[in-house]
A = this chain, B = another copy of it.
Amino acid sequence: MSLFEVYTDGACTNNQGEGLQPGGWAAVFVDGPALSGGESATTNNRMEMRAVIEALKNTPPHSHVRIYSDSAYVINCFNQKWIDKWEKNGWMTSSKKPVENKDLWLEMRQLEKERQVEWIKVKGHSGNQWNEMADTLAVAAIPKDKNNDDQSRKEICLYLTQDEKINLLSFLDCNQLNLNDVLKNVLVKLQKLE
C-alpha cells in the first residue's frame, strides 16, 4: 500500500485580535507537490485544520498517510482521542461548551476513517525543510487583497517544485479535486503546449 508523508501548516494574521482574520494553509508532500490556499476570514486553528483536510483529500482512500503538523490542537485531537469523546458526548468540551470548528472536525474524521493515518507532532520552526516550506507557503497564501469582494473564495496552488507553481483554479471544473487527476490534466496540458 502506498505511503504518503505530508507536512501541513496554517498561518493567520492577528492584527488587533478582533474577530476573524485572513489566513492561509499549505500541505507539502515529501518528495512531491504542494498545495496551498487562503481564506479572508478565519482563525489560526481553522487554517491548521484546513491544511490537513486538503492533504488527506489528495491521497487515495485506504492509503497510508503520515500527517506532520506543529499544531497540538490537531494532533492531540486524534492521538489523545479527544474526537472519540466528542462523538460520544454530543460535541461538548470538558468545560461543557460546544466544541469549536465542528464542521471541519467532521470533514477530517470522515477522511481519516477512509485512510490509515499516523499523526505526528513536529516542533514549529525547527529547521525541518518540509515544515519550513509548509510555513512559507501558508504565509504566502494569506490573501492580501482587502478589496476582494468574495469573502469566502479559496485559492489552491500546485507547486511542482519550490519555484514552479500552477494555479489549480483552472482545473476546478473537474468536479473532484484529486491530486492525481489534476496532475494528469496538468501533464496533458503541458504536452499539448510543447
Query: Which one of A41-49, A72-80, A119-127, A183-191 contacts B?
Result: A119-127
Contacts of A98 in B (CB 8 A): 125-127
CB of A113 closer than 8 Å to a CB of B = no
* Cα(A1)–Cα(B136), bound, Å: 54
Interface digits, A60-104 against B, CB 8 Å rule (1 contact, 0 not)? Answer: 000000000000000000000000000000000000111000000
Q: How far is the CB of A69 from chain B (nearest CB, A)?
A: 16
Name the CB-closest residue of B to A125. Answer: B97
Distance to closest chain B CB from A180 (angstroms):
36
Q: How many copies does the complex hold?
A: 2
Expressed in whole angstroms, the minimum distance between the Cβ of A43 and any Cβ of chain B is 16
- Please indicate the chain B residues that have their CB under 8 angstroms from the CB of A126 in the complex: 97-98
Closest to A97 in B: B125
- A108-129 at interface with B (beta carbon < 8 Å): 124-127
Residues on the B chain within 8 Å of A124, using CB? 96
Q: How far is the CA of A126 from the CA of B98 in the complex (A)?
A: 6
Bound form: Cα–Cα A124–B96 in Å: 8
Cβ contacts under 8 Å, A127 to chain B: 98
Query: A20-71: which have CB < 8 Å to B?
Result: none
Contact residues in B for A97 (Cβ distance below 8 Å): 125-126
Chain B residue numbers with a CB within 8 Å of A125 are: 96-98
Q: List 7 A-B contacts (CB under 8 A).
A: A96-B124, A96-B125, A97-B125, A97-B126, A98-B125, A98-B126, A98-B127
